Structure formats: C-alpha cells, structure tokens
C-alpha cells in the first residue's frame, strides 16, 4: 500500500492531459492524486448545487434573510427564480 501511494505521489501537473490539468490546478495536485488513486477509471458525475434539495432548503431562506433578492439568490445558486420561491415558501 505504501509503495502504491509513492507511485501516485510521482504524478505531476506536467504529466496530465489538459482536462485533468484544469481539475488539478483548481483542487491542487495532492487532492487530484487522491481522486486518481481512489476513483481512477470511474466515470464521475459532479452534480450542480440544485441537485441537493436539503442544501437548498437550508441555504435559500438564509440568503433571503440576509437581504438577497429572489433574483440574486437565483443567480448565485444557478437555479430558477421559481426554485428559489419554492424553497423559500414565498409562492
């Protein structure tokens, strides 16, 4: 197991394809190495924030209480204004 980790530690930014490099630059090479080690070969779908209803139920009312408008919350979370209204209780 230790030798396997040492191999992954040799992976450098310059070794990566353009798409992989973009991810590694955003999350850091150490985190990218962990992703490759744990999930290498797996098709991974990264969901939008709108895919987490519990999060939306919690965050939308908080943002509205802080004074954000429905439109601002919609743009911030990349969801429709109707979605903001639905989770805010302001139908």
DSSP-assigned states of every residue in 25-39: HHH-HHHHHHHHHHH
pLDDT, average across residues 69-87: 96
Confidence of residue 91 (pLDDT cuts 50, 70, 90): low
pLDDT, average across residues 17-32: 96
Whole-number pLDDT of residue 40: 92
> Is the predicted pLDDT of residue 65 greater than 90, yes or no?
yes
> Is the predicted pLDDT of residue 21 greater than 70, yes or no?
yes
Give the Cα-Cα-Cα angle 42, 43, 44 (nearest 5 degrees): 100
Q: Residue 60: count other Cβ atoms within 10 Å of its Cβ.
A: 25
The answer to whether 64 touches 88, Cβ cutoff 8 Å, is: yes
């Amino acid at each position: 197991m230790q030798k396997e980790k040492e191999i992954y530690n040799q992976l450098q930014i310059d070794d990566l394809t353009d798409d992989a490099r973009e991810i590694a630059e955003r999350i850091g090479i150490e985190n990218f190495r962990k992703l490759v080690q744990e999930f290498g070969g797996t098709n991974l779908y990264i969901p939008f924030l709108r895919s987490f209803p519990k999060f939306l139920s919690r965050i939308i009312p908080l943002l509205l209480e802080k004074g954000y408008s429905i439109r601002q919350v919609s743009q911030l979370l990349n969801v429709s204004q109707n979605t903001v209204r639905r989770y805010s209780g302001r139908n």
